Structure 1
């Protein structure tokens, strides 16, 4: 089967999905497109090594001096990055000795895999992949102990304070990388416009900082309220795990979260959700209608038809009204700002031509339009 054929018959065909991650994004995007999705890639943040690495190497030297009792590993990438940096600076062998002598604890399975891949063993894993849970598990035995905490992109002051409050004598923070602005910020602007215009079905996140970065970008572009409203209502939001989901939930957004916090599980959860909830079906005077993503299918009327962004917004409004009249001003508000009354008529005319049957839309003179039910 050709790539084009796969895109039109895949389980995600008709759906528009945004990917906000930088790392491993190519693999994620390929998996979504292979299932037929239209993908918008707009990294909200990028990861970068610490400039000059002086701070990281200084912290590593302190770890070698301290010979810590406990080492908390929060991310697979961060642990690998730390060890690679130490090896490049000639400290790899000594760091390995220190880590073998320490009790290593990891936040989740990915971090566990990285630790084992480098030849180390981990004593415990947080049950819910939360740093706070890992700290709480260790707290009863931390009095008089020294701890290394590998950060997830930025210093975790809350976890550090909790470790010290539990009696740790010293907490050395290891920051192998930092979050920086994306290389192509224009992509993020395109994503924000898509959210505000209603042309996205799904928004995916693989890190909590990316959630915060996107919402901050929305605020800076004066569309924070519109983006928040979209995420709380029409857009399906997917988070790879509970850490990523936390800032969304704090703002009243309930994302999909897979039971296993992996990219593959994330895709399966999304496929299952859209298969059950991603389509709108209704009866019309011309037969049963199904709207799946941006694709409309009328029973007995040939092939499904794909709608453009403006067409989709207008048609969704008519379908949602269930045969009731949607007033002209309400429909005009779905078009670009400044559109004339004539522009609405032209948009509806184009929509009719794009539909399987133009008679699906009825004109109500001087009032508006409605779905022909």
Structure 2
């Protein structure tokens, strides 16, 4: 399939989307092309999973079986299935399941929950966010002295997680089932970096946090990481399949959108609504005779581009959705990108930076209520 081929018409007609997925890439590309998008594909990770050598996994499993397990932290459904599939080959599946049955089980997300329940294992707790940081927060503060914890690794090293749990007194064993590695041929990834850095794409989709890391590493190698991040912050939409992948982008202050359900179809539907709206943009006549235009993450004040960091940009977009109306501090706080300090002071700082960029009179304070754009008239 040539990425340049696409049907005429559709809500994404004329828009160019980069796809970084390796798994289920063709399904995603087909969904995008059916909606008229031009798709550029760079599988930044190896296709499939690099399984750990059978001997190493078998030895790790034997160590798990040596002593009772107090807690199992299961991080991925595919990892649990692969681990149990290996024990099926060795004839020890039933023994491992019985050994884990009395453990406190924490599952990182719904796919992991599904994999566990299909084997008769029941999780005690799972974060709604699917973020591993929330798993650690759940465990932080607990007395884990002497607790034996088994952590199923999710493709990337969790050695720091193990160290953190050991600091709380736990005895930790990490079981590595598979590894996620960068693509063997980096050429498509380098090309994707250039397309993003040069602002040639309207959006880029991410379906795995390791893909973010691999793309950033490729950008660092080519000396274009700063340019690529700037493009993400000012024009190229980063679209994630869910909050876990979005968190990997948020670490670099990249604004990210993701659907409520972590599914490919939901991701494409999100782009179907988000990208045309960004292309149309918003034009507002504001205080002091200025015209303010929002084109995606690009902001123009009287045809002059205004560069905003993610927090003030998020505030501006929230205010522009209700021009002239008061938006409360709590709503503005909710609009700030993840990773921003969660207090009203963060809103005040974002508003202050926004005023420095677009003019103090453009954003009005409404005492005890919030803020609003000083709008003369709007489209």
Same fold (TM over 0.5): yes
Partner of 1:194: 195
Match in the other structure for 1:32: 32
Partner of residue 165, structure 2: 163
Aligned pairs (5 A) from 1:113-124: 113-124=114-125
Q: How far off is 1:106 after superposition?
A: 0.5
Aligned equivalents of 2:108, 2:97: Cα separation in 1: 20
Helix, strand or coil at the partner of 2:173: strand
1:70 deviates by 1.2
Cα separation, 1, equivalents of 2:117 and 2:27: 23
Residues 278, 120 of structure 1: alpha-carbon distance in 2 compared, 3 angstrom cutoff: farther
Gaps in structure 1 of 5+ consecutive residues: 283-291, 294-316, 325-373
Answer whether contact 1:132 1:159 (CA < 8 A) is retained: no
Which digits, 9 at most, give the CA deviation of each residue in 1:28-55, with x for residues without a partner?
Answer: 2222222222222211122533452332
Indicate conservation of the 8 Å contact 2:101/2:121, yes or no: yes
Q: Match of 1:150?
A: 152
Q: Provide, for residues 138-188 of structure 1, a one-character-per-residue CA deviation record: whole Å limited to 9, x for no partner.
A: 4526333211111111221332123223332x1111111112221432211
TM-score (norm 2): 0.68
The CA RMSD over aligned residues, in Å, is 2.9
What aligned pairs does 1:164-313 form with structure 2 within 5 A after superposition?
A: 164-168=166-170, 170-279=171-280
Name stretches of at least 5 consecutive residues in structure 2 with no aligned partner.
Answer: 284-294, 305-379
How far did residue 272 of structure 1 move?
Answer: 2.2
Matching residue of 2:65: 64
The CA deviation at 1:6 is 8.4
Alpha-carbon distance in structure 1 between the residues aligned to 2:124 and 2:84: 19
Paired positions, count? 286
The SS at the match of 2:22 is: coil
How far has the Cα of 1:271 moved from its partner? 2.1
What per-residue deviation string (whole Å, max 9, x for no partner) do you get for residues 65-88 of structure 1?
123121111111111111112222
Q: Distance in 1 between matches of 2:85 and 2:196?
A: 39
Correspondence for 1:92: 93
**SS in structure 1 of the partner of residue 129 of structure 2:** coil
With the length of structure 1 as denominator, give the TM-score of the two structures: 0.69
